Amino acid sequence: MAINVFRYGFDWTADLGYPTTWTDRKYGNWETDTASHCTVILNGEEQRGNVAGRLEWYHTTPLVDAVEATCLAAYPTATDYRRTVAVVRDEAGEPLYAVDLFRAAGAALRDYRFHSLGRPDDMTVELDDPAAPWTAQPNGSLAGEGVAPTSGRGDSWLFDLHRAATPAGVTATWRPTGGTSQPDRYLLTRRSYGNCTVSFTMTRTGKASGPQERAVFVFATDPASVGDRHVIMMPVELPVGKPARVKFEIRGGAAQMTLDGQAVGHVDVSGKPAESGSLGFLHYYNYAWEYRDLVVTPEGGEPVRYDRSAPTTGPGWSPPTPPTAACSPWPTGWMSASGCGCWAGRAGR
């Protein structure tokens, strides 16, 4: 019972977090949860899985296309769970706007979720009642002020919240400015490193979302200018499910890589990187890979361990630049050149 809006070659309402990433924890707790979809959630609960909906009717005219579907099986306690969507066109056949009517009954709480492409910074929400106050919730997540961001399923992945209660209308506006290509995303350390030794385990998951499986490590990277970086293209011809041990010796802007003790890989330079900076993974190409047990040992210093099994909101990982934390599907540790703004309308009985 979710919808997708396609126009100008884009899926403007793609489910938040898609395509699937190599971060299995995010996949299981966010991408597959009802909360990441444009739909209505009843009583804060997920929809039941593996149930069938019903196409009630479909009608088309020169100026309007409309369809209605129901799925009471998604919420067994619901007495109505019905969506009617219409697209209105001009006389030349060009779409003008879409109408979405979602009827839900039989629940004490009804959440209407909607999102679109674009950064939260470029999203505005206006209330028809200008006197209605906005209240910030800087702590916790939509799951509760005591529930840490990304610590569980669904609503814990929505944080840095602002709320307003109003019986009047609400207008949300998204202004995508990212162009036509999907930007790269990074997972980078908060700490800057120069000469150091890096080791971790990489495992090919077999879950690639496309034909190209790329595994990319970056170092001497400025989070505020990720185009200036050293890039290492790691080997991808590995057996699925078999962990491989990776080691980098980084000295003076150069690096030597070994995979299970064998010398492999090569270093490319992009832009004008410094001799030191953050290090990590170019996330956009890493859908097919899982990384564990990352240890960085600075020259003459003690080893620093980075936990990839826990939320990346800890002190080790750098926050997004530009900031995209508001209602973002990405953990705070992900460096993201683009994000998603989301809006939720909540109603009681």
CATH number of the domain residue 303 falls in: 2.60.120.560
Q: Does residue 159 lie in a domain region?
A: no
Q: Phi and psi dihedrals of 34, rounded to 5? A: -55, -30
| Mean pLDDT score, 26-31 | 77
Residue from 277, 286, 203 nearest 245 by CA: 203
Kindly state the tokens that stand for 176. Answer: 């995508």
Distance from C-alpha of 267 to C-alpha of 328, rounded to nearest angstrom: 32
Q: Does residue 291 lie in a domain region?
A: yes
Using DSSP's 3-state secondary structure scheme, residue 73 falls into helix
Residue from 44, 31, 34, 45 nearest 1 by CA: 34
- The yes-or-no verdict on residue 335 having pLDDT over 60 is no
| Structural domain containing residue 241 | 190-317
Q: Does residue 182 lie in a domain region?
A: no
Q: Does residue 178 lie in a domain region?
A: no
More confidently predicted of 183 and 202: 202
Residue from 278, 196, 192, 266 nearest 235 by CA: 266
pLDDT of residue 157: 86
Q: Round the average pLDDT of the chain to a whole number and report it.
A: 80
Split into its structural domains, the chain has a count of: 1
CB 27 within 8 A of CB 38: no
Distance from C-alpha of 244 to C-alpha of 199, rounded to nearest angstrom: 11
pTM here?
A: 0.56
Distance from C-alpha of 318 to C-alpha of 222, rounded to nearest angstrom: 11
- The yes-or-no verdict on residue 160 having pLDDT over 60 is yes
Q: CA-CA distances (angstroms) from residue 194 to 221, 279, 295?
A: 10, 10, 14
Q: Does residue 66 lie in a domain region?
A: no
Give the rounded percent of residues in the chain with a pLDDT score beyond 90.
34
Q: Does residue 34 lie in a domain region?
A: no
CB 82 within 8 A of CB 109: no
Q: Does residue 17 lie in a domain region?
A: no
On the question of a cis peptide bond just before residue 319, with omega within 30 degrees of 0, the verdict is no
Q: Does residue 257 lie in a domain region?
A: yes
Q: What's the length of the chain?
A: 349
